[in-house]
Amino acid sequence: MAFPSSIRLEQAIFRVNNEGISAASLALVAGLKPNILSNYVRGLRGVSSDVEQRVVDTSLLIASLAESIRPLELPNDATRLRVLLTYVKEHNITPAQIRSAIDSVFGVSNAVEDLAVIG
């Protein structure tokens, strides 16, 4: 039996995949069992609306954090990524604050564009 797909959930998975994060890691970071999203991707099960919202919110936070720390990368390890996201949320750290700190440490702005010119 195939389950209906959710565009929001598909976008969330795509969003984190672009940052090198797997669906299984996204599930773990969102506080779910890794097989929940894996089974969804394979069409083996659906997900509830509250699980979908948790995954979407987590993916948006991951994407925002990834953008703000460039040229650095997010940890690939789900546990470390979850700890990082929890810290950011608990301390109300904004992407703009992170970007400002990265820029001050490295003395750069628009690092993504700078790396594109080099590469």
- 44 in any annotated domain: yes
Tokens of 33: 């069992």
- 1 in any annotated domain: no
Whole-model pTM above 0.85? no
**How far apart (Å, rounded) are the C-alpha atoms in residues 67 and 16?**
11
- 2 in any annotated domain: no
pLDDT number for residue 80: 95
Q: Which residues of the chain have pLDDT under 50?
A: 111
**How far apart (Å, rounded) are the C-alpha atoms in residues 41 and 6?**
10
- Helix H or strand E encompassing 39: helix 34-41
CA 94 remoteness from chain centre: 15
- 51 in any annotated domain: yes
- 74 in any annotated domain: yes
- 24 in any annotated domain: yes
In angstroms, the Cα distances linking 28 to 2, 63, 71, 77, 103 are 24, 16, 25, 10, 30
**How far apart (Å, rounded) are the C-alpha atoms in residues 53 and 49?**
6
Minimal CA–CA distance to 9: which of 34, 39, 40? 40
Looking at the structure of the chain, the number of domains it has is 1
- 15 in any annotated domain: yes
- 58 in any annotated domain: yes
pLDDT number for residue 12: 92
Residue 26 structural domain: 7-118
